[in-house]
């Protein structure tokens, strides 16, 4: 696991975009794991900008969403399918049919979850999985207590997560209680996991993820098992890290050929 502490979200966005740019140049039909939430927005802005400038071509790329609400009708403005279209995929030349998400409106949810796992596998797996982190340490919608080996499935949201996400809905009552999410095991299968976190409200979760024990109480700590995880944080989100100086030193002295 590599922890990179940067001054702010612009620098984080630039570094993630460099990694995605290098990936797409190496593998134009790469599979990107897409996250919603506010943390990845500067990354999507930077990718859209690079696309406009002709630096980035997504025409052969694929995207797989991490998660989706259960029970929102297809096309609902807050469904993650719609959110990711507005925030990212609708702003670049990725083919709409190449953007996939778990089906939260399926009648048979377990079958839809299995089909989603199969779709990821059939595409050859996720090359780069972008992640945010919830204040309770969730990634995707894997709430505390999630099995570290879990696959795509239905989950019940913790009230704090519903409250955190209520800002996107007319009222708290309209935030669904249920979601479908890639499991921690699914996320661990990605070739490169890139988690971004900014702001003091994420400091505890970032500490638990990086320096806490590997434990289901902090689902993001599962990334300690990932062979290639990059944790990109600003100073505020890094403020509870015990080994912050070591992470800074390592990054400052990193061989330039290594990349993210």
- The residues of the shown chain that bind ligand GLP, judged by CB under 6 A, are 35-39, 66-67, 132-134, 140-141, 161, 165
Measured in degrees and rounded to the nearest 5, phi and psi for residue 231 equal: -110, 110
- Nearest approach in angstroms of CB 38 to ligand GLP is 4
| Choice among 87, 143, 164, 234 that is catalytic | 143
**Has 103 been annotated as catalytic?**
no
- Nearest approach in angstroms of CB 231 to ligand GLP is 13
**CB closer to ligand GLP out of 20 and 179:** 179
Instruction: Give the largest Cα separation in the chain, rounded.
Output: 53
Measured in degrees and rounded to the nearest 5, phi and psi for residue 119 equal: -65, -40
**Has 245 been annotated as catalytic?**
no
**CB closer to ligand GLP out of 27 and 66:** 66
33: its two tokens: 């794991």
- CA 56 – CA 127 distance, rounded (Å): 16
Q: Which of 1, 3, 37, 31 is nearest to 239 (CA)?
A: 3
> Could you tell me how far CA 67 lies from the centroid of its own chain?
9
- Nearest approach in angstroms of CB 2 to ligand GLP is 19
Segment (H or E) for 205: helix 203-211
**Has 143 been annotated as catalytic?**
yes
**CB closer to ligand GLP out of 37 and 102:** 37
**Has 234 been annotated as catalytic?**
no
**CB closer to ligand GLP out of 19 and 40:** 40
- Residues linked to residue 99 through DSSP beta bridges, in sequence order: 63
| Choice among 67, 68, 164, 208 that is catalytic | 67
- Nearest approach in angstroms of CB 221 to ligand GLP is 15
| Choice among 68, 87, 138, 192 that is catalytic | 138
- Nearest approach in angstroms of CB 63 to ligand GLP is 14
**Cα separations (Å) of 234 from 52, 73, 171, 220, 228?**
27, 36, 30, 17, 20
**CB closer to ligand GLP out of 173 and 258:** 173
| Choice among 127, 136, 189, 234 that is catalytic | 136
DSSP class of residue 114?
A: H
Active-site amino acid positions: 67, 136, 138, 143
């Amino acid at each position: 696991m590599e922890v990179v502490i940067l001054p702010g979200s612009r620098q984080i966005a630039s570094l993630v975009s460099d990694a995605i740019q290098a990936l797409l140049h190496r593998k134009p039909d790469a599979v990107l794991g897409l996250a919603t939430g506010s943390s990845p927005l500067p990354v999507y802005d930077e990718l859209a900008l690079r696309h406009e400038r002709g630096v980035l071509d997504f025409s052969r790329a694929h995207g797989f969403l991490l998660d989706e609400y259960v029970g929102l009708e297809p096309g609902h403005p807050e469904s993650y399918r719609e959110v990711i279209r507005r925030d990212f995929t609708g702003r670049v030349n990725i083919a709409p049919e190449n953007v996939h998400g778990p089906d939260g409106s399926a009648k048979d949810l377990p079958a839809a979850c299995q089909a989603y796992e199969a779709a990821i596998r059939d595409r050859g797996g996720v090359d780069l999985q972008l992640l945010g982190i919830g204040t309770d340490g969730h990634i995707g919608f894997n709430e505390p207590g999630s099995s570290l080996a879990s696959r795509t499935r239905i989950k019940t949201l913790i009230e704090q997560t519903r409250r955190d996400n209520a800002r996107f809905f007319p009222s708290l009552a309209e935030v669904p209680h249920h979601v479908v999410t890639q499991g921690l095991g699914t996320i661990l299968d990605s070739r490169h996991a890139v988690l971004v976190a900014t702001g003091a409200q994420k400091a505890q979760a970032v500490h638990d993820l990086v320096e806490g024990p590997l434990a289901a109480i902090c689902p993001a700590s599962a990334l300690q098992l990932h062979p290639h995880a990059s944790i990109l944080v600003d100073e505020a989100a890094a403020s509870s890290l015990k080994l912050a100086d070591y992470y800074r030193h390592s990054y400052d002295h990193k061989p330039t050929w290594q990349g993210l």
